[in-house]
Amino acid sequence: MTSAPKSRNQRTQAFTLTNLQQRVLTALLLGPVVLLLVVLGGWWFFFLAVGLSVIAALEFANLGQHRNIHVSPLLSVVSVVAVITAASQHGDHLVVPLFILTFVLTILWAFARRMTRRTALIEGLMTIAAPAYIGLPTALLVLI
């Protein structure tokens, strides 16, 4: 006798990868591309660093969602890219004003959404943590 055909859910479960398998597959597929861009250097490496920093900033923005800590993904990404670009193009004097501008914009955006002062301050501090935690080290890496 033949068995009944598998349902669509059972077929897709057979191809589900674990987290580790997914990471290994990603490393195997993207590792050579990353190594090539590192070897090429210059603008190729700069754009690789910026691209990875954008992904890291988005991950950072999503990090506190389950604890009700809101970080503006748009401001985080823009500030991270601005810090990396400013520092790598010898605009070191722009880094501190970029932090201040990001903080002020985040506070104003939080007040526009009618948040309390405390919540707005936390959101502002967490948003400027992204360029500090991601942007500055990446900018230093690009400068090397």
Spatial distance between the Cα atoms of 110 and 85, rounded to a whole number of angstroms: 26
For residue 83, how many C-alpha atoms fall within 13 Å in the half-sphere facing its CB? 31
Dump pLDDT digits (tens) for 38-76: 888 888 889 999 999 999 999 888 887 777 777 888 888
pLDDT one digit per residue (tens) for the chain, 144 residues: 565 565 555 555 567 878 888 888 888 988 888 888 888 888 888 999 999 999 999 988 888 777 777 788 888 899 999 999 988 887 778 888 888 888 888 888 888 888 888 888 888 888 888 888 998 888 888 888
Burial class, 143, CB count within 10 angstroms (exposed 0-12 / middle 13-18 / buried 19+): exposed
| Cα 73 to Cα 44, 68, 119, 125, distances in angstroms | 25, 14, 16, 13
Phi, psi angles (nearest 5°) of residue 17 = -95, 145
**pTM over cut 0.75:** no
Instruction: Give residue limits of the domains in the chain.
Output: 41-143
